[in-house]
Amino acid sequence: MRNFNYHLARDVADAAAKIIASEDGKLMAGGMTLIPTLKQRLASPDDVIDLGAIAGLKGIAREGDEIVIGAMTTHAEVAASDIVRSAIPALAEMAGGIGDPAVRHRGTIGGSTANADPAADYPGGIVGLGASIVTNTRKIAGDEFFTGLFETALESGEIITQVRFPIPRKAHYLKFRHPASGYAVVGVMVARTASGVRVGVTGAGPSAFRASAFEAALSKDFNAGAIGNLELSADGLLNDIHFSGEYRAHVAGVFIRRCVAAML
Amino acid sequence: MPIAVKLTINGKEASANVEPRTLLVEMIREHLRLTGTHVGCDTTQCGCCVVHLDGKAVKSCTMLAVQANGRAVTTIEGLASPDGKLHPMQEAFREHHGLQCGFCTPGMVMMGVDIARRLPGADEKTVRQELEGNLCRCTGYQGIVNAILSVVNPGAVKAHH
C-alpha cells in the first residue's frame, strides 16, 4: 500500500470540503473494499478521508412508510435491526448474507452503494425495493443511481447520507453466492408494492437492473404460471471466467421464480 | 507523517506512532509485540487476524491502525484470566481438538467468542455459516465446529468416534 494523508472528517460538510480540496482523494466508509484496493495498488490516493467518526450518519428509523438507514450503518446492524426485520425482513436477510460476520461488522450500506460493485448485494436490494439515495446535496432515485460498472450518479463532492426504503407489502431476496468470494453471481430481489411488482437483479450485469418483462407479467398475476417461459436476455450481461452471460440469465430466471414461490 | 494512535488493548492503554497506511494487525504485531494475532492471507478471506473491536469480531488486516484510535481491542492474548485460566472458548478448543497446526486458531477462537455472544443456542449449520470468513487449511473443521457448539449449544455436539 502506498502511503497517503489520513483525514478524519468531523461531519459531512467537512468530508465534502476535504474531498473537493484533494487532487486525488478517496472517501472511506467501512473500508471493506477500499483497504483491499489500496493494498493491491489498484488505487493510490493522495488523501483518504475517513467518514467513521460522523455520528449522524449511523442509525435506522421508520419514518412513515419508509425505513431510513444512515449511510454508515453496518451490514450487521441492518441484519440485526428489529425495525428492518419487522418491516422488510428480506432486506435484513440480504444484509446478513454479505461477506462474513467480521466484514459485516465493518462494511456499510453507504460504502457498498457508492462503490457500486456489480456483484454487491445492496444495489439489487435498492433497485428491487425502489429505494432512494439521499446525499449531502439531493435525493436520487435508486433506479437512476447505478449507471454502469462501478459507476454511479454521484457527482464529485457528493456524499451519501441515507438510503430510504419504501416498505413493500412483501419481498424476498435470493442470491447465488460465489463459493469463494461470497459475492452474488446472481442476486434477485422481488418486491410486491402498492404500485406493482419490482424485480431487481444484481451480479448478472455491469450494474443492478430491473427485469421489466418479469415485473409486467407478475404485476398482472403474481404467480409462477404468469411468467411462463419468460427468459432474461443474456445481452450485455457479465461474461467472465466464472460464468457466462447465458448462465447468469438462466440463474436469474430460476431465482425470480423461486422468490415468487417463496412469497405465495 | 506518523500519527499517534492510542487504544486500549486487552484492558491496558497502549499507543504507537504509525503511518496512515499501517494496518491494525501490523500495529498489534509489530508495534505492540502481540504476535498471537496471525496474518494468513492479508486479503480479508482467511480470518487468522480476527480480533474484537469494542467487543465485535473484525479482520485486523482490513482496518487501518488509525481507525482503532480511541477504541478497545481484544486479541487472543486478552482472553485468558491473568492467572492463566483459559477462556471457556479456549478450553473448548482444547477439549474438542479444535486445532491441528494452530495457525488459524487465534482467529477461530476470537470468532467463536463472537458467535457465542451473538447467537447463543446456534445449531451446527449456523455455526458453519458463521465460520464463512475463517479458513483452516488443515481442514480441521469438525473439531472447530464441535468446540464452538460445545459453548453455544452443548446438546448439538456430535459424539466422539
What are A93-119's pLDDT values in tens digits? Answer: 999 999 999 999 999 999 999 999 999
- What are the chain B neighbours of A107 within 8 Å (beta carbons)? none
Residue B159 domain flag: no
CATH of the domain at B144: 1.10.150.120
CATH of the domain at B27: 3.10.20.30
Residues B63 and B14 in one domain: yes
CATH of the domain at A46: 3.30.43.10
Kindly identify which residue of chain B lies nearest to residue A106, measuring between CA atoms: B58
Residues A80 and A33 in one domain: no
B63 with A31: Cβ contact below 8 A: yes
- What are the chain A neighbours of B41 within 8 Å (beta carbons)? none
Residues A199 and A138 in one domain: yes
Is the pLDDT at A130 greater than 60? The verdict is: yes
Dihedral Cα A18, A21, A24, A27, nearest 10 deg: 20
- For residue B160, name the pLDDT band (cuts at 50, 70, 90): low
Residues B43 and B108 in one domain: no
Q: Which domain-ending residue is among B58, B77, B96?
A: B77
Looking at the complex, report in whole angstroms how far the Cα of residue B45 sits from the nearest Cα belonging to chain A: 8
Q: Does A2 touch chain B (CB under 8 A)?
A: yes
DSSP of A80-97: H-HHHHHH-HHHHHHHTT
Closest CA relative to residue A167, chosen from A67, A91, A79: A67
- Residue A181 pLDDT: 87
Please name the member of A5, A101, A103 whose beta carbon is closest to the beta carbon of B130: A101
- What are the chain B neighbours of A99 within 8 Å (beta carbons)? 132-133
**Range A177-205 burial, b when 16+ CB lie within 10 A, else e:** beeeebbbbbbbbbbbbeeebbbbbbbbb
Kindly identify which residue of chain A lies nearest to residue B4, measuring between CA atoms: A6
Q: Does B130 touch chain A (CB under 8 A)?
A: yes
Residue B82 domain flag: no
Is the pLDDT at B161 greater than 80? The verdict is: no
Residue B55 domain flag: yes
- What are the chain A neighbours of B23 within 8 Å (beta carbons)? 35
Residues A40 and A152 in one domain: no
Looking at the complex, report in whole angstroms how far the Cα of residue A196 sits from the nearest Cα belonging to chain B: 35
Place of cell 454502469: A148
- What are the chain B neighbours of A100 within 8 Å (beta carbons)? 47, 132-134
Residue B93 domain flag: yes
A3 with B53: Cβ contact below 8 A: no
Residues A42 and A67 in one domain: no
Looking at the complex, report in whole angstroms how far the Cα of residue A264 sits from the nearest Cα belonging to chain B: 26
Q: What is the mean pLDDT of chain A?
A: 97
Please name the member of B1, B47, B64 whose beta carbon is closest to the beta carbon of A35: B64
Residue B64 domain flag: yes
Residue B47 domain flag: yes
B132 with A105: Cβ contact below 8 A: no
**Tens digit of pLDDT for each residue in B62-90?**
999 999 999 999 999 999 999 999 999 99
Structural domain for A34, as ranges? 5-50
Residues A26 and A72 in one domain: no
Q: Does B134 touch chain A (CB under 8 A)?
A: yes
**Tens digit of pLDDT for each residue in B25-66?**
999 999 999 999 999 999 999 999 999 999 999 999 999 999
Residue B161 domain flag: no
Report the number of distinct structural domains present in chain B: 2
Looking at the complex, report in whole angstroms how far the Cα of residue A2 sits from the nearest Cα belonging to chain B: 7
3-class SS letters over A131-185: CEEEECCCEEEHHHHEEECCEECCCCCCCEEEEEEECCCEEEEEEEECCCCCCEE
| Contacts A–B by Cβ distance under 8 A | 72
Q: Does B56 touch chain A (CB under 8 A)?
A: yes
Most A-contacting residue of B7, B17, B18, B21 (CB-CB within 10 A), to test interface: B21
DSSP A207: S
- For chain A, what percentages of helix, strand and coil (3-state, to nearest 5) are there? 35, 25, 40
Cα end-to-end distance, chain B, whole Å:
57
| CA–CA separation, B55 and B66 (whole Å) | 18
Place of cell 447505478: A146
Residues A152 and A254 in one domain: yes
Pairing of strands A66-70, A60-63: antiparallel
Cell of B48: 487468522
Residues A80 and A162 in one domain: yes
Q: Which domain-ending residue is among B28, B44, B77?
A: B77
Residues A20 and A67 in one domain: no
Residues A44 and A75 in one domain: no
**Tens digit of pLDDT for each residue in A49-98?**
999 999 999 999 999 999 999 999 999 999 999 999 999 999 999 999 99
| Amino acid in position A165 | F
Residues B10 and B54 in one domain: yes
B111 with A101: Cβ contact below 8 A: yes
Q: Which domain-ending residue is among B33, B53, B77?
A: B77
Structural domain for B105, as ranges? 88-154
Residues B94 and B137 in one domain: yes
Report the number of distinct structural domains present in chain A: 2
Residues A100 and A209 in one domain: yes
- Residue B158 pLDDT: 79
A36 with B44: Cβ contact below 8 A: yes
Residue B160 domain flag: no
H or E stretch at A115: helix A109-115
Residues B7 and B71 in one domain: yes
Look up the ipTM and state it: 0.96
Residues A67 and A149 in one domain: yes
Residues A21 and A99 in one domain: no
H or E stretch at A19: helix A12-21
CATH of the domain at A106: 3.30.465.10
Q: Does B67 touch chain A (CB under 8 A)?
A: yes
Rounded percentage of chain B residues whose pLDDT exceeds 90: 97
**Tens digit of pLDDT for each residue in A6-60?**
999 999 999 999 999 999 999 999 999 999 999 999 999 999 999 999 999 999 9
Is the pLDDT at B119 greater than 80? The verdict is: yes
